[in-house]
Copies of this chain bind each other. A is one copy, B any other.
Amino acid sequence: MAIRLDASSPDFERAFETLLTGKRESSVDVNDAVAKIIADVRARGDAALIELTNKFDRLSLTPETLRIPDAELDAAVAACDAKTLDALKMAKARIEAYHARQKPSDGRFTDAQGVELGHRWTAVGAVGLYVPGGTANYPSSVLMNAVPAKVAGVERVVMVVPMPDGKVNPLVLAAARLAGVDEVYRVGGAQAVAALAYGTATIKPVDKIVGPGNAFVAAAKRQVFGIVGIDMIAGPSEILVVADGQNDPDWIAADLLSQAEHDESSQSILVTDDAAFASRVEEAVAAQLKLLPRETTATKSWADFGAVIVVKSLVDSVPLVDRLAPEHLEIAVDDPEPLAARIRNAGAIFLGRYTPEAVGDYVAGSNHVLPTARSARFSSGLNVLDFMKRTSIVRCDADSLGRIGPAAVALATAEGLDAHGRSVSIRLNK
């Protein structure tokens, strides 16, 4: 059973602060083991990658079988049942359409001093996409990572996916094919991250690595950061539902459980202005939990990290939401826009009574890779700009350098950087 907080209670601030700062993830220190794996792959390339895959995934490979041939990806598409394949295609098309609008424009202008200024966006050259094996092996995540990269114009998208005992979810391979992934390798863990970062004879190195993974993968991404770019380190999922008493408690309970089922460390929070409604939702959660195949996970998540907060008015939810900075925020009221407009920190906002967060996980078109653990205070969900970079452009001629150059010389002198000043002054009065 989730905790219940009453915002009008004198000890609310203390209880809310506990909710806010509670640690949901226990971090395992695997840094030394990961450093050894990376050094090994860096030194011995394919040979190390193959040995480690044999050891950890019980899969015997050769340099020739590291890569999954395109024919095998095509076969995975062909083996999909029609309904799932159609759903994957719809999701891919909608993600593509949404992200295509994120493509940034280049710009140039000449200012009053005659200096030409601008910027240009270019795609990252090659991106590695990590796809976990086991239970978190989601075709939707392949689409959410690979499609924005392709929309950005990344020429080479390389996927790695472990195949423990030779097994892989064929839907993941089908999603890779649909998303236009260029190369797929059957390796995982820190060894796959090392291969992507440093390259081997078979796997050419990439410039950036994205995608979720276990503690080994996360540690490996942190360790190769700098050599390559990485995306955020994703934490357990979160949903915060702001709902008035006019909702169907079963609907809201279903939404809370949609995140609780992900992981025992997931967090589902309801904020409502109706204490009686809150109780009905709690009852509905209890009833629905029993119907879930993932009952154990969802029950533990709801009991350990779930919360129901009763506020006097829904407007009072705004500062609470901003402090929690949830990954997913639902605003289930008739007129959600005024409340939404006041919220500053949320990864994604789902408006109204007919927008369960799960549509955003699959087919809304927006990205489901979103900031967790309060990082929506300072970061954004995955988007096309994550696969591009911006180059500044400056051009002076003798006249415009004559206008702004003397100030540069003055500042260089004030900072004691004479060579800086000299590179400007040597061009003045010519």
Contact = CB atoms under 8 A, between A and B. Distances in A.
Interface of A: 83-84, 86-88, 90-91, 94, 97-98, 101-102, 107, 109, 111, 115-117, 119, 122, 124-125, 135, 138-140, 171, 207-208, 226, 228-229, 233, 248, 250-251, 254-255, 257-258, 260-262, 288, 291-294, 298, 322, 336, 340, 343-367, 370-371, 373, 375-381, 383, 385, 389-398, 400-401, 404-408, 410-412, 414-424, 426-427
A377 B124 contact: yes
A346 B120 CA distance: 10
A351 B116 CA distance: 9
Contacts of A391: 343, 346-349, 376, 380
Contact of A415 (B140, B233, B356, B406): B140
B427 A356 contact: yes
A354 B401 contact: yes
A351 B124 contact: no
A300 B263 CA distance: 54
A408 B258 contact: no
Nearest to A417: B261
Contacts of A370: 392
B352 A207 contact: no
A94 B405 CA distance: 13
A236 to B, nearest CB: 13
B117 A358 contact: no
A394 B378 contact: no
5 contacts: A102-B119, A125-B345, A135-B416, A140-B415, A288-B422
Nearest to A374: B227
B351 A258 contact: no
Contacts of A250: 426
A292 B419 contact: yes
A408 B359 contact: yes
A423 B352 contact: no
B392 A381 contact: yes
Contacts of A407: 86-87, 90-91, 362-363
A354 B411 contact: no
Contact of A377 (B111, B125, B255, B260): B125
B352 A395 contact: yes
A308 B372 CA distance: 47
Given A351-B395, A362-B407, A424-B356, A380 B375 contact: no
Nearest to A386: B378
A135 B135 CA distance: 52
Top 8 A-B pairs ranked by shortest CB distance? Answer: A229-B378, A351-B395, A87-B407, A380-B390, A366-B392, A87-B410, A348-B392, A254-B423
B258 A359 contact: no
A260 to B, nearest CB: 7
A356 B423 CA distance: 6
B419 A294 contact: yes
A102 B109 CA distance: 13
B404 A359 contact: yes
B423 A375 contact: no
A347 to B, nearest CB: 7
Contacts of A385: 385
A395 B293 contact: no
A267 to B, nearest CB: 14
A389 B394 contact: no
B411 A364 contact: no
A401 B91 contact: no
